[in-house]
Structure 1
């Protein structure tokens, strides 16, 4: 099974490009972020014509996550337990508005999350506190899921808006005092590793960025960031047979500012068939 994640930065603006890539790369399941549309606005038809079903979670022209899959999707979940909201006005229960930043599906026994982690904006901003709280709540839910269902392959995929290492930005000195590289953010990322998740792409693709700003010729100068990741549980990591970052998708007409990150999986059934028989 071939699984990928891609912050598409408006699916309505890039649907033809995304569908073309799905067919060209023979993708089974794609997790998308920043689709920037409600479910009723999602351009389903081009995906359907290519053999893909869509599950989408979006409220407006901001944020939004989705899946495209040519395999059946089960147990569709929007958001996660305890996921914090953000805004200026709370409801009668004291809750802030929820954003469309997380959804999960199960495909062929593999549990997949599409995640669009809050940006944080700047150090000290309420959105930065929101980001850290959001990550902490996600880690707690993930830890519980790992404990309750360790045999289920689980992946957290998407735009994490964190560069875990200095080499994940083109010049760390230019990021002094900025979000994405602050120690609290990096520690929040490391927390997922501490509870048992691992970056299943890094060992196979040690170098390479996944995002380049549109401004100041960032892409031609390769002034990018590595902020899109696939973190897998031990059961998921065991299935991974290959990984790649598709840098060329930042080229051409009207690209997203992010590129796809892909992993190849031996599905649980295939892995069992490859194991020697014990009598």
Structure 2
């Protein structure tokens, strides 16, 4: 079974890219981020025609997350993280799909730092850590997938010295990610490719993709009950080079049968 995460950077504006990638790669389950569309504008019919059932949590102009599946109906278990009853930002969705609990997330960017956006990022991260602990404690096979807006280590960023003041590389944010992993989550890409230069995002500016001046900010974290099934992991980096592509590339894992 192949599970992927893809920040589409506008699900309607980049729908041809998404559909082309789905047809080419045929992932079984996909977590999408940055839909940038309210619920009623989600392209459900086009997704269904491509062979996928979907659940989504949209928001006008910003954010938005979805889970697509071609291996069974996603049974939604949570929409939004606990502790955020007044949180209007659509950043988390969770569903049981084909024997796996799939959690799709879009962690806040947090820039500029310092400031209220950075404070919100740290607070949201704490809510994620608390909920992730309960997922680990459940003993279920869980995939925590999405755009974390975190480069965990200097290996995950082109010229890290240029990012020392950025919210995506801030010590507090990297420490929060490390605390998340300490719960028992396996970083799938690094589990299989511990030393490789791997990026999942390339800015639209300064010819970043052609120079491979990227960041690794899209992650798939696996609970102990799922990590033992990890067979392969990678990034479909060529998708970033397509016309009108997202600035992210799809990131995926392959699992053996449970």
Give the TM-score normalised by structure 1: 0.88
Paired with 1:182 and 1:104, the residues of 2 have a C-alpha distance of: 27
What SS is found at the alignment partner of 1:11? coil
Paired with 1:75 and 1:140, the residues of 2 have a C-alpha distance of: 20
Pick aligned residue for 1:144 from 109, 118, 134: 134
Q: Which runs of 4+ in 1 moved over 3 A?
A: none
Equivalent residue runs for 1:148-163 within 5 Å? 149-150=138-139, 152-163=140-151
Paired with 2:216 and 2:184, the residues of 1 have a C-alpha distance of: 21
Residue 205 of structure 2: aligned partner: 215
Q: Does the CA contact (< 8 Å) of 1:214 and 1:257 recur in 2?
A: yes
1:47 equivalenced with 2:37 (yes/no): no
Pick aligned residue for 1:226 from 207, 210, 216: 216
Alignment length, in residue pairs?
A: 255
| Structure 2 residue ranges without an equivalent (≥5) | none
1:101 equivalenced with 2:102 (yes/no): no
Residue 124 of structure 1: aligned partner: 114
Deviation at 1:96, TM superposition (A): 4.5
Residue 11 of structure 1: aligned partner: 11
Equivalent residue runs for 1:80-95 within 5 Å? 80-83=81-84
Q: Does the CA contact (< 8 Å) of 2:55 and 2:76 recur in 1?
A: no
What SS is found at the alignment partner of 2:206? helix
Give the alignment's Cα RMSD to 1 decimal: 1.3
Equivalent residue runs for 1:165-204 within 5 Å? 165-204=153-192
Q: Does the CA contact (< 8 Å) of 1:57 and 1:100 recur in 2?
A: yes
Q: Does the CA contact (< 8 Å) of 1:192 and 1:198 recur in 2?
A: no
Paired with 1:251 and 1:101, the residues of 2 have a C-alpha distance of: 26
1:164 equivalenced with 2:152 (yes/no): yes
Pick aligned residue for 2:232 from 242, 250, 265: 242
Residue 257 of structure 2: aligned partner: 267
